[in-house]
Structure 1
């Protein structure tokens, strides 16, 4: 499983939530594989290079090879960050075919909850990912009680995660 974090701030709360979500899902699926973390804040200065540096290409290949991909970011201006968009735009067409993608957006206001379904899900589907369950709109105010808030969503996505990880 890969956790892709599109927050421009290193060590963000979004990163912490993405890691916890991915690790919990791996455990619930009965796997002990480590979660691969892709923190785009570390790659940000190199993402717009005319020729992608080897480390950017390697990370894009790692993301494209994921069986399960948690795509997490903060909600900026009612949608996901430009950092996440730039990274995903650099993937080849249909690069996520065969990948189960789980979109997660962290937001300050519940009025942005639809951003996960209206903006992030279509991008992942355009890249070929299967997104069979609702994304997770996670309020910043709920981060201190993340495990409790995640329980219903994780129960809904766990069967798909289990099936995807079993296909290895």
Structure 2
């Protein structure tokens, strides 16, 4: 069964980015026709912030190991200074080379202004590809104003924005991974 994991790199626990990432996870479930199945690990990097630079960073490594069990990962971040957060980068820096190899990744970036709409493609996507991730279609950009909708409305809107063909093709063809 396909498992969908979530990693959110917002320094604020249970942030709006967290809720947007859960809505995107639900949208991916719909596109892949998984219904309520497909539950995978959920990691809020805010819960790891105190340990991310600690020697060994055991909790961070354990969280990354859990996320590695998922087939599809939603990786979300708010936009700080026109790019992803330092916290997300610090967590991902703990990942071994090729950590995302074989994983389908759906990047999500949230910002206060549409001026940052390209950040998901210019900054977040290349980071995830460097780690071996296969990004299905374009990354998802959300303006903070879109977060005012209900979770169900947001999920439905995100279903429309996902590249369903690319997502289904990547999930059903893991053998295409080098």
Q: Do both proteins adopt the same fold according to a TM-score greater than 0.5, normalized to the shorter chain? A: yes
Q: Tell whether 2:151 aligns with 1:143.
A: no
Contact residue 73 and residue 103 of structure 2 kept, 8 A: yes
Deviation at 1:167, TM superposition (A): 6.4
Contact residue 41 and residue 70 of structure 2 kept, 8 A: no
Q: Whole-Å Cα distance in 1 between the matches of residues 128 and 165 of structure 2?
A: 20
What is the alpha-carbon root mean square deviation over aligned residues? 1.8
Q: Whole-Å Cα distance in 2 between the matches of residues 149 and 106 of structure 1?
A: 15
Once the two structures are superposed, residues 23-43 of structure 1 have per-residue CA deviations (whole angstroms, 9 ceiling, x without a partner) of 221133122122421111001
Once the two structures are superposed, residues 53-80 of structure 1 have per-residue CA deviations (whole angstroms, 9 ceiling, x without a partner) of 2x32211112233211100010001000
The structure carrying a bigger helix percent of its residues is 1
TM-score (norm 2): 0.85
Residue equivalent to 2:20: 17
Residue equivalent to 2:11: 8
**What is the aligned length?**
165
Q: Whole-Å Cα distance in 2 between the matches of residues 35 and 16 of structure 1?
A: 16
Once the two structures are superposed, residues 83-102 of structure 1 have per-residue CA deviations (whole angstroms, 9 ceiling, x without a partner) of 00001111111111001111
Once the two structures are superposed, residues 133-164 of structure 1 have per-residue CA deviations (whole angstroms, 9 ceiling, x without a partner) of 1001100011123245324312x1x3344445
Question: What stretches of structure 1 of length at least 5 have no aligned partner?
Answer: none
Q: Paired residue for 1:101, among 102, 105, 111?
A: 105
Once the two structures are superposed, residues 85-123 of structure 1 have per-residue CA deviations (whole angstroms, 9 ceiling, x without a partner) of 001111111111001111100000111111100100000
Q: Whole-Å Cα distance in 1 between the matches of residues 133 and 97 of structure 2?
A: 11
Distance 1:160 1:68, change over 3 A: farther
Q: Whole-Å Cα distance in 2 between the matches of residues 131 and 86 of structure 1?
A: 21
TM-score (norm 1): 0.90
Contact residue 103 and residue 134 of structure 2 kept, 8 A: yes
